[in-house]
Amino acid sequence: MATTLRLRLAALVLMTSSASWAGEFPVQGGYGFDALKPTTTTCHRITAQEAATFTRCEFSPAGYAFGLPSQYHQCDALPRGQVFIYQSPEQCQAALETMQSNGP
């Protein structure tokens, strides 16, 4: 019950905030987490130093990361990481909680 409520709240946050998106946003300064470390990762602001570790980034203007409609960057990071980056801390947190609630 609590997980369902949390997922609905996360979807609502992402849908209402998507109206303010005007297109691609920069990776540096966005808010991201490493999806390959689901039990230890947290949402944090992407610094220039962290952005320099990304080997490839792909922007999704209308994707469904973790089942939620959102705009995000998906970046491969050295040595082994897959960072999802959102425009706001709220969007990042909603995606992180959804990913964690659907994990093993």
21-49 tens-digit pLDDT: 447 999 999 999 999 999 999 999 999 99
pLDDT in tens, 64-73: 888 888 999 9
For 55, the domain range is 2-101
Query: Model-level pTM greater than 0.95?
Result: no
Please give the tally of structural domains in the chain: 1
Residue 79 CB neighbour total at 10 angstroms? 5
Contact 101, 6 (CB under 8 A): yes
Q: Judging by DSSP bridges, how do beta strands 68-77 and 31-34 pair with one another?
A: unpaired
